[in-house]
Homo-oligomer: A and B are copies of this chain.
Amino acid sequence: MTPIMYPMRVTRQLLAEHRVAMLRQASRLFRAHGIDRVGVADITRAAGLTHGAFYGHFPSKAALASEACDASLARAADRWRALAAEAAGNGEDGLGAVIDRYVSPSHRDDPGGGCALVALGAEAARDPALVPGMTSGTEALLAALDDILATARPGVPAAERPGIALAVLAAMNGGVLLARALADRPDRSDAALTAARRAARRAAEFS
């Protein structure tokens, strides 16, 4: 006899809010300090809970990290689409707007609020438990870039778009990573951003 499971009605929403709060705080803390430097107690505390609430929501810290990467990158992809659409509405270059916002001093100086690919890509590549979320989230970024290219670069054949999206994303995240690695020399760091913006734009040219 399997016991009948009665669903909840109101608290279900609160449960989901707790879950999403943990995901959001975890994503922010992970990007800001690294996955290994953030404990589950830090995450639950930032979400207004205690560490006892954790394992009712996630099977493990690594599983949370994978989901956090995926969700964070998917939201970034949505923001890219919105930004590009807004720029296009103003008659500006949608792709250039995305590049300029990504390869910027403010992004460089705010890892906790920035792209998970730059902040956690290397860490995720090492841990097999994180690879699925990181791969899936990165594909979301690429899909967004592909769509943005379709309207912002109508001269680019559709068959070329995936490769160009990869090249643009590589120049973008490489530029931010390089700028962060040069943190001790601010002028060089700024120059890295300027050079990477240009490289990303050039990568989007079709010839």
Contacts and interface: CB of A to CB of B under 8 A. Distances in A.
A124 B192 CA distance: 17
A120 B111 CA distance: 15
A46 to B, nearest CB: 17
A163 interface: yes
A134 interface: yes
B34 A171 contact: no
B125 A122 contact: no
A191 B119 CA distance: 22
A178 B116 CA distance: 12
Interface string A168-205: 11111111011011111100100110111011001100
B195 A166 contact: yes
A164 interface: yes
A31 B111 CA distance: 21
A32 interface: yes
A178 to B, nearest CB: 5
23 contacts: A34-B36, A111-B122, A117-B181, A120-B122, A121-B180, A122-B122, A131-B183, A135-B182, A135-B184, A136-B184, A163-B191, A166-B191, A170-B175, A170-B177, A170-B178, A171-B199, A172-B174, A173-B174, A173-B178, A174-B174, A174-B175, A199-B203, A202-B203
